[in-house]
Structure 1
Amino acid sequence: MTRPGKHVLLDLLVSEGVEFIFGNPGTTELPLMDAMVVEDRLRYILGLNEVVVMGMADGYAQATGKLAVCNLHAAPGLGNAMGMLYNAARAGAPILVTAGQQDMSIRLTEPLLWDDLATMARPLCKWSFEVASLAELPRAIRRAAKVALTAPTGPVFLSIPGDVLTSEAPDDLDMLSPTRIGARMRGDADAIAAAAALIRAAQSPVIFAGDHVARSGAHAELAALAEAIGAPVYLEGMANTAAFPSNHRLYAGTVARMTPALRAVMDKHDLLVSIGADLLTQSQATGVEALAPGTQVVHLDDEPWQIGKNFAAAAAIQGDARATLPELTALVDNCGAHRSNAIATVLAGSRAALLARADAQAGDMPLQPMPVLKLIGELLPDNAIVIEELLSSGMNTVRHLVPAVAPDSWFGMRGGGIGVALPQAVGIQLANPDRPVVVLSGDGSALYSAAALWTLAHYKLPVIAVIFNNRGYRILKQRTRAIGDHSARTDSFVAMDIEAPAIDFMALATAHGVAGVRAETLDDVRAAFETALASRSPTLIEIVVAREP
């Protein structure tokens, strides 16, 4: 008995552990959508455009570590999704991106919506391929899943022509089996020993932690190393996850993504220990290197591309953090433990000063972001997941004010392309139906992907979307003012205000089917947030915040 390719595809995806297909279908996907009518093993989650669809898959993949599937429509659909695919690639999200392709029989005529999809996707994917026949489909799916889920994880792409889905598979089609490569690779013993020697010789080491720590589940192992060597722990420049618990006494926070700020931190230390962090992401050119010449670096990562990419590593270790750090910690033999109390005291003082600043601003009107964030942090349930895309409203302070404690409790915008938070919330809430999911977003970011609100409403996902509305692109104003020229002298900015007309976020919420609440005081914020938590319904809370500085 033969079986149509559309059902073969679904059988393969189910056997790879796929639970959801995130998509926005078109004509080239119609055979797949027809098969979904009788499919009860996985769900198709509809997004209203490809920006939203790709972001949903990204959120699910990051939150679970499982294979997410993103289904796009031909060349325009893939093109629309590229910005979010860039973010997913930078975050290492294991996503199988598929796009429906025109039938192989007419591709030479360059039909409507056709293009070389595999070439389009290749720069942002670990592997990209066009399936030419149903006979190739099992091997293509197996390879794609294996590559996406193998460290360092990341997106892969398959172009699937319509006639692959409509062809009939013979009885003897070999479906093959999934392959999984273990991720717990221990680092080279000699490299670990070299790292330990450098650490023992250092007088003032500092640790930078990156996404790999959270993905590896290595909080406890990294905390043990930090205590043993007496080092503060900063997050990497474009911090995406809770790479180190923000309530740990050696948590030092984040550093502005400008090399002078990074240089100022490093000037106090004689050794940089990078655990799964990139070194060092910067936003703009400043003419200053982040590290002084001759700075000693120890670098552990599961992604060899990152090790020594910008700064030479005196000890370079490719491996998994959770598997490797215990051996490194044993070899350093508590060499700096005597420093930990003093460092923790300094960091506690800095945090107390930040909280005092937030309290001092509590009476300001319009609201300042810091006291709002402090209040949300106090109201946030312990098991909540935060998706943060605040830019100017939360820069380098938000994790001190809103807890980022568990490895799976925090997600951000690793690639830097804005508009990720609302779509990611869909995938993250689907992955964690029993946990509160809270979005912290600026108004400018939210407007890139506001259509995700409809998906929240349609699937009754109780995400709380908190929009900090300063009615413009404040981070661009800050950066333009820093140039010190026309804008700084005149306090005038071109194309950086979202006004005339202002966006009516309450109408936007209503139009997409979610509850909307506008908050202008801290009491309003408290009431709105507590009501939203209790309602277990999707809610948009617009908070009117100060426009300047």
Structure 2
Amino acid sequence: MRPVEALLTVLRQEGVDRVFGNPGTTELPFLDALVDAHDIEYVLGVHEGSVVAMADGYARATGRTAFVSLHVAAGLANGLVGLLNASRSRTPLVVTAGQQDRRHLVQDPMLSGDLVGLAGAAVKAAFDVQHAHDLPVLLRRAFRLARQPPAGPVFLSLPMDLLAEDTDVDLPARVTLPEPGAATGVDAAVELLAKATRPAIVAGDGVGRDGAVGSLVTVAEALGATTYHQPMSDGLNFPTAHPLHVGTLPPVNTEIRSLLAPHDVVFIAGCHAFMPHHYSPGPAVPRSSRIVQLDDDPAEVGRNFGVEAALVGGIRATLDALADRLRPHPSGRETETAARARAVADRTAADRARTDAEAVAAYGGAPLDPLAAVHAVASGLPEDAVVVEQAITAGPLLRTVLRQTRPRSFVHTLGGGLGSGTGMAVGARLGDPSRPVVAVLGDGSTMFGLQGLWNAAHDRVPVTYVVLNNGEYRTLKDTLDSWQSNATRAGSYPGLDLVHPRLDFTRAAAFFGIEAVRVTDAAELAATVAKAAHRDTPLLIDVPVTGHRTGGRA
């Protein structure tokens, strides 16, 4: 078969039913081949940032590797933010970009560039395909590497004339790798965990990626363990409505250490080294705690702190093995475990009631208090909704009021590249049309990814966008305030305001053909979000909010 036919065959065998792309001249041989490939849909994006973000959301929703087609050096450069996000979030993508025709590449033609060099720092691996017979082999390798722990994006540079060659290439058979089994060392981990008197669990994103949420719940309940989400978690790794879930760890080592210090044993499952954001001295893990760590990536275990029981293997398989061993409690421990679980549940219930009461008390007029706004969103969510969150200031508040139970109900990106939320929400809904998708975005994040709204409108993808519009880069102001002790500069924030002119996202939505409303009442916001379950077209809700919390906490 010809090279381009081999490409399509590999895509089909790898379960690819959509190509996310923005085309140019160097991708024309591929586009021409897609004309007769009726089983593979080309999803056009009008900017590479939204293209990669859509593929990221789609891969997470389907559990399959997504395929992306970018255009030469410039298109690849536009997509780099999304590739950095996918690398940090360990999303499996295979990404190609068309290279200029090799027959005049030595002349440095327009659009050409060092694609592999450009992609190298943002992806797991990069291949420069120079021979037609290498294409099928490298495609197979790319899909395998994208899924292999630690998962991530893999890039291939494809010269346009190579895809157009009328030459016969061999297609190697697809190899299905076995699911990773349980780690060795389970006995040592069980001994530590079973004897713990104040156990804690940190639920990392590897748990959600491996479909192991239920398995971790079983382990937590067997231990009566206080359970946290990892800092800035990308997904739902433990039900946030569960009585043992006490919240998300902050991305600061000193604060993590303070929260974990009361626990004699800490079980860290599928967590990439805690991902601190702001610097603070010392390790995240308290020296007084004994650590059990589980990951499917051997490089992760013991990477930043000492570990007493190291578990390297399939996360779900290992959690199942731990659960089987821990469920029959050692003699005399059932009463102690139940009492510990009740104490955590009582504290959690009190904390949630206090937060909810504080939010409801802030249900005032416009602009809304940010806690009141996110509480209204959470209150209105349809039961099976997927929340895509990229609201830098309000996002942490949203996590305190979300009560989710179903896996894959929360989507975020650890990469930190702004603008992904609009496209990622489209990809999430395309990947699972049975679930309503609500994207909660900051105004700054929305500005970085407006092109994703085009896809929502063009493809009639019924995403409900909630834009929390505070007219400023609030998180930077808060951070700057924490660094400054000079009161005379209070209120002076060069370059951090978006109020002149004030951004009107209803007009931005109208430009793309999306219905939009501005909501200034918390009850109305909850009611509008609730309708997401029944929409068949996208909606944008512009919500004016204050910067500082009006209810007391900043």
Match of 1:475 in 2: 475
CA distance in 2, matches of 1:95, 1:222: 27
Match of 1:516 in 2: 516
Q: Deviations over 1:208-258 (max 9, x none)?
A: 001111122222211111122121110011201000001111011102211
Which of the numbers 149, 152, 155 marks the counterpart of 2:150? 152
Unaligned runs of 5+ in 2: 549-553
Q: Deviations over 1:509-547 (max 9, x none)?
A: 011111111111124314433455433211111111112
| Root-mean-square deviation over aligned CA pairs | 1.8
CA distance in 2, matches of 1:348, 1:279: 29
Q: Deviations over 1:112-137 (max 9, x none)?
A: 22222123222332221011122111
Q: Tell me the CA shift for residue 259 of structure 1.
A: 1.8
Q: Tell me the CA shift for residue 422 of structure 1.
A: 0.8
SS at match of 2:509: helix
Match of 2:128 in 1: 130
Match of 1:385 in 2: 386
Q: Deviations over 1:249-300 (max 9, x none)?
A: 1011102211222122012112211011123221111224322335321001
CA distance in 1, matches of 2:256, 2:488: 25
CA distance in 1, matches of 2:488, 2:202: 34
Query: Following superposition of structure 1 onto structure 2, how do residues 73-152 of structure 1 map, counting pairs within 5 Å?
Result: 73-152=71-150
Q: Tell me the CA shift for residue 164 of structure 1.
A: 1.1
Match of 2:243 in 1: 249
Which of the numbers 177, 182, 189 marks the counterpart of 1:181? 177
Matched, 1:459 2:453: no
What is the identity, as a one-letter code, of the residue corresponding to 1:216?
D
Query: Following superposition of structure 1 onto structure 2, how do residues 166-205 of structure 1 map, counting pairs within 5 Å?
Result: 166-170=164-168, 173-188=169-184, 191-205=185-199
CA distance in 1, matches of 2:186, 2:350: 34
What is the identity, as a one-letter code, of the residue corresponding to 1:33?
L
What is the identity, as a one-letter code, of the residue corresponding to 1:471?
G
CA distance in 1, matches of 2:96, 2:505: 33
Q: Tell me the CA shift for residue 488 of structure 1.
A: 7.5
The 10-residue stretch of structure 1 (296-305 or 122-131) with the greater mean CA deviation from structure 2: 122-131
Matched, 1:360 2:361: yes
Asked whether the 8 Å contact 2:381–2:530 carries over to 1, the reply is no
Matched, 1:322 2:322: no
CA distance in 1, matches of 2:434, 2:509: 23
CA distance in 1, matches of 2:198, 2:7: 55
What is the identity, as a one-letter code, of the residue corresponding to 1:199?
L
TM, length-normalised to structure 2: 0.94
Q: Deviations over 1:321-370 (max 9, x none)?
A: 22112322343453562311111111111111111111111125421122
CA distance in 2, matches of 1:462, 1:327: 41
CA distance in 2, matches of 1:279, 1:72: 32
Query: Following superposition of structure 1 onto structure 2, how do residues 346-357 of structure 1 map, counting pairs within 5 Å?
Result: 346-357=347-358
What is the identity, as a one-letter code, of the residue corresponding to 1:46?
L
What is the identity, as a one-letter code, of the residue corresponding to 2:98?
G
1:177–1:76 Cα change, 3 Å:
same
What is the identity, as a one-letter code, of the residue corresponding to 2:236?
A
Match of 1:414 in 2: 414
Match of 1:46 in 2: 44
Query: Following superposition of structure 1 onto structure 2, how do residues 425-436 of structure 1 map, counting pairs within 5 Å?
Result: 425-436=425-436
CA distance in 2, matches of 1:126, 1:366: 44
Match of 1:165 in 2: 163
CA distance in 1, matches of 2:404, 2:527: 23
1:451–1:16 Cα change, 3 Å:
same
Q: Tell me the CA shift for residue 489 of structure 1.
A: 4.1
CA distance in 1, matches of 2:3, 2:315: 41
Matched, 1:268 2:269: no
Matched, 1:281 2:275: yes
Match of 2:203 in 1: 209
SS at match of 2:175: coil
Asked whether the 8 Å contact 1:517–1:528 carries over to 2, the reply is no
What is the identity, as a one-letter code, of the residue corresponding to 2:485?
D
CA distance in 2, matches of 1:487, 1:195: 51
CA distance in 2, matches of 1:211, 1:18: 24
Asked whether the 8 Å contact 1:228–1:337 carries over to 2, the reply is yes
Q: Tell me the CA shift for residue 311 of structure 1.
A: 0.6
Match of 1:60 in 2: 58
Matched, 1:439 2:435: no
Match of 1:375 in 2: 376
CA distance in 1, matches of 2:361, 2:402: 17
Match of 1:312 in 2: 306
SS at match of 1:158: strand
Which of the numbers 193, 208, 216 marks the counterpart of 1:222? 216
CA distance in 2, matches of 1:168, 1:122: 30
Asked whether the 8 Å contact 2:438–2:532 carries over to 1, the reply is no
1:267–1:22 Cα change, 3 Å:
same
What is the identity, as a one-letter code, of the residue corresponding to 1:485?
S
CA distance in 1, matches of 2:133, 2:488: 63
Q: Percent identity?
A: 36
Which of the numbers 232, 236, 240 marks the counterpart of 2:234? 240
CA distance in 1, matches of 2:112, 2:160: 12
CA distance in 1, matches of 2:48, 2:24: 11
SS at match of 1:208: strand
Asked whether the 8 Å contact 1:208–1:235 carries over to 2, the reply is yes
TM, length-normalised to structure 1: 0.95
Unaligned runs of 5+ in 1: none
What is the identity, as a one-letter code, of the residue corresponding to 1:445?
S
CA distance in 2, matches of 1:58, 1:531: 26
Q: Deviations over 1:144-173 (max 9, x none)?
A: 111112233211111000111110132xx3
Asked whether the 8 Å contact 1:487–1:493 carries over to 2, the reply is no
The 10-residue stretch of structure 1 (17-26 or 329-338) with the greater mean CA deviation from structure 2: 329-338
Asked whether the 8 Å contact 1:439–1:465 carries over to 2, the reply is yes
SS at match of 1:69: strand
| Aligned residues between the structures | 542
Q: Tell me the CA shift for residue 97 of structure 1.
A: 0.5
Match of 1:538 in 2: 538
Asked whether the 8 Å contact 1:150–1:180 carries over to 2, the reply is no
